[in-house]
Amino acid sequence: MDFYSGLRKLHQGLISREMTPADLVNFSLEQIKAVDMQVQAFVTVTEEQARVKAEQVRENGAEGILAGIPFALKDNMCTQGVETTCASRSLQGYKPPYSATVVERLERDHGILIGKLNMDEFAMGSSTENSSLCKTHNPWDFERVPGGSSGGPAAAVAAGMVPYALGSDTGGSIRQPAAFCGVVGLKPTYGLVSRYGLVAFASSLDQIGPITNSVEDAAIVLQSIAGPDRRDSTSVQRDVPNYIEGLTGDICGLKIGVAMEYFSPSIDQKVRAAVDSAILQLERLGAEMIKVSLPHTSYALSAYYLLAPAEASSNLARYDGVRYGYRAQDAENLLDMYRQTRSEGFGAEVKRRILIGTYALSSGYYDAYYKRAQQVRTLIAKDFDEAFAKVDVLLSPTTPTTAFRFGEKTEDPLMMYMNDICTIPVNLAGLPAISVPCGLADGLPVGLQLIGRMFDETTLLRTAHAYEQAAGFAPMRPALGVHA
């Protein structure tokens, strides 16, 4: 038994009674005990709850494709009665009185929550080094980062501890760690998956999505969690197509745009070579490759690092030590309690972004910074609209490099921010995108990013699945840290 074989095979094993939900839960727990001491992906393991749920699924005879299969969550999704920390001291000990919509939907389909996963604090980071809880290691090389901010979910799936996990993506936080860890990461269209119960970082950018070992598994999980939710005002009221049936493998005649601005000299040459090989593979499958330009791409990073911190500044104002979470002791008065609580509760990167965002929103600077960044965001969205008038899907590297070593970029925040240069424009435009493995560079995974039209996950998944099946890289199995 292993979790790399895919959700469909696990489901067939349960239906044929070759295994039980308890067997899968036990296997997941055994893998966590065997591997997670080195990887450190989990911050909470819900062992007792999972065993009870497994017995309930067996007794009820639930037969949905996710029924009886364990999963894990990035620790910024609320879970009723289970600690939700966002990897921050400010939320340690917080047990929500409700579960996020995505959690309810997976549990409705009789999935079994096995635990919560590490992340950059409040999802602010690209390496999971900003967690206040622990430092997650890349299963391909324990000296390297797993990416971020969904580093825990990507590492847990890559290490075979769970067959799938949910992450959140604000500027690449699903796709970048998926690329670094050699797994599949899907960022859905903004509004397709409910954000209710997701602890907010930047509300106009955040989106929940699956991290899996294959494109088919991503489609299966998306089928469960997608759809409107009256509790989320940004949730879009539209029918959810059958993503699984759309995986036909046929992309003959499909027009794929190669976004030239994403192939800058800053892209590592071995990463570029792997993506170039993927382009040739897609051509052999009958796709037509067309060079396209997204001229405002160079402004995306600057716009994002004004908009996201501005929204974070607003969203994180609620962590004041009054209603829940961490509260500083021995404060002299109310204002001193606010100051001490936030100073002690937030880490350095979170403080940096709150300061940037507060400044951008302050009187006299709003028009110069925040408003102008919103205007740039509109131009970036128009670039994508014009490109999709010519092509069906866009293609680029997911990341400019493979996974970097711990500490390599922590002293230079701008260098760290540059790591999201290929993923951030997608969030600004609200589009769906997926990262799929496209080979190795010096023994480390490389990710291929495919970008789709708004709410056209069907074409996006079909293209990614066709490439994955032809290329044969997924599932990728790391040697758990033996890479030199």
Neighbours of 389 (CB within 10 A): 8
User: Tokens representing 156?
Assistant: 């847990």
Which residues pair with residue 144 across a beta bridge? 405
pLDDT on residue 292:
97
CB 381 within 8 Å of CB 190: no
What distance in Å separates the CA atoms of residue 426 and residue 296, rounded to the nearest whole number?
Answer: 12
For the residues 218-247, what does the mean pLDDT come to? Answer: 97
Q: What is the DSSP string of 80-122?
A: TTB---TT-GGGTT---SS--HHHHHHHHTT-EEEEEE--SGG
Q: Catalytic annotation on 74?
A: yes
Rounded to whole angstroms, the Cα distance separating 128 from 419 reads: 13
What does the pLDDT average to over 397-415? 89
396 flagged as catalytic: no
- 133 near 118, Cβ under 8 Å? yes
Residue 484: pLDDT above 70?
no
| Among the listed residues 188, 461, 203, the one whose alpha carbon sits nearest the alpha carbon of residue 313 | 203
> What pLDDT digit, counting tens, does each position of 177-203 carry?
999 999 999 999 999 999 999 999 999
28: pLDDT strictly greater than 90? yes
pTM over cut 0.85: yes
Look up residue 113 and give its two tokens: 């929550």
Q: How large a percentage of the chain has pLDDT more than 90?
A: 91
Q: Residues with Cβ < 8 Å from 326, sequence gap 6 or more?
A: 89, 90, 91, 92, 93, 319, 341, 344, 345
**Catalytic (active site) residue 382:** no
Q: pLDDT tens, 300-310?
A: 999 999 999 99
User: How many other CB atoms are there within 10 angstroms of residue 195's CB atom?
Assistant: 24
Top-confidence range, 314-328, 376-390, 406-420: 376-390
Question: Is there a contact between 387 and 292 (Cβ–Cβ < 8 Å)?
Answer: yes
Q: What is the DSSP string of 220-283?
A: HHHHHHBS--TT-TT----PPP-TTTT-----TT-EEEEEGGGS-TTS-HHHHHHHHHHHHHHH
Structure tokens at 79: 């879970």
- 3-state secondary structure at position 346: coil
Give the pLDDT mean for 158-177.
98
- pLDDT, residue 1, reads 82
Catalytic hit among 28, 53, 74, 235: 74
So what's the pLDDT on residue 482?
61
Q: How far apart are CA 190 and CA 227, in angstroms?
A: 11
d(CA 393, CA 387): 9
Catalytic residue among 173, 194, 224, 313: 173
The active-site residue, picked from 88, 90, 131, 149, is 149
Q: Mean pLDDT for the chain?
A: 95
The amino acid at residue 271 is V
Domains in the chain with CATH codes: 7-253+453-471 (3.90.1300.10)
- As a whole-number percent, the residues of the chain with pLDDT over 70 amount to 99
Whole-angstrom distance, CA of residue 97 vs CA of residue 217: 30
pLDDT at 61: 83
Give me the amino acid identity at 343: S
| The dihedral sign for the CA sequence 185, 190, 195, 198 | positive
